[in-house]
Amino acid sequence: MAIHLDIDPAVVAELLREQARHRPKAPDNLVAAKYRLDRELFDPLIRLLSLLDRPRDIEVMAPLIRREIVWRLLHTEHGPLLSQLAFANGHAARIGRTTAWIRENYAAPLSIPDLAAQANMSVPSFHRHFKAVTSMSPVQFQKRVRLQEARRGLSGASTISSVAYDVGYESLSQFNRDYRRLFNLTPSDDAAQLRATLRRELGHSRPSPPARMSQ
């Protein structure tokens, strides 16, 4: 299971002030993408997801739970790196803006010098800080986003070739190799499984017909 949670830098800054600590410096080799989930962080994540079953509670409860999640994250080994999000000119914040751009423009060709300039870094510094934050190179990060978007497309009625080209691949064979390397399935096999799962879920969500009364 994967959960994508946007973290508001303003919330991070507010909690740091409440914590009454100076902003720590994040080591260059700190990887924000890997963290073993413990019970203290698992519980609020489950409570946040459970709000999907209680829509009327979302407006009030979701901000409180998200705030708790940020607080828990600040007390993990990645707290120093997360704290940089509260500062617009911090390396993590600048890389965060870059990853957001890649997510929005994943099908576009990637220019490392342009991305480094947007982040106000030299190319070597950009590569170093990007990998420290994401554990990947910019090209690897873009490839991961493309393949995740492709998987989303394959759950529908789109063909494999159209999905591959839509996410920015120019070679179908390269797409097939990259897809299998990431998901351990060929695109066609994964598409079949995704669609079968979707059909089962739709079938379970349909109301059962009313029972007939015996005469």
Rounded to whole angstroms, the Cα distance separating 183 from 187 reads 9
Q: Is the pLDDT of residue 38 over 90?
A: no
Residue where a domain stops, chosen among 50, 70, 87: 87
Residue carrying the six token digits 């995704």 = 194
Do residues 33 and 137 lie in contact, with contact meaning Cβ atoms separated by under 8 Å? no
Joined together, the tokens standing for residue 47 give 């409570």
**Higher pLDDT residue, 92 or 142?**
142
pTM for the complete prediction? 0.62
Domain housing 178: 138-202
Q: Which two tokens stand for residue 160?
A: 């494999």
Domain boundary among 87, 112, 146: 87
Residue 63 falls inside a structural domain: yes
Residue 212 in any domain: the answer is: no
Looking at residue 146, which CATH number applies to its domain? 1.10.10.60
Domain shared by 79 and 9, yes or no: yes
Provide the domain count of the chain.
Answer: 2
Residue 129's closest CA among 139, 142, 119? Answer: 119
The model's pLDDT over 59-90, given as tens digits with 9 standing for 90+, comes to 878 888 888 888 888 888 777 767 666 665 67
CB 79 within 8 A of CB 22: no
User: Average pLDDT over the chain, rounded to whole?
Assistant: 79
- Evaluate whether residue 115 is within a structural domain: no
Residue 184 lies in a domain: yes
Residue 92 included in any domain:
no
The pLDDT tens digits for 174-209 are: 999 999 999 999 999 999 988 888 777 766 555 544
pLDDT-based confidence at residue 22 (cuts at 50, 70, 90): very low
Count of helix runs (H) and strand runs (E) in the chain: 11, 0
SS3 75: coil
Model confidence at 13, pLDDT cuts 50, 70, 90, reads low
- Is residue 120 included in any domain, yes or no? no
Last residue of one domain, picked from the residues 87, 114, 148: 87
pLDDT at 213 over 60: no
Q: Residue 54 pLDDT more than 90?
A: no
Does residue 94 form part of some domain?
no
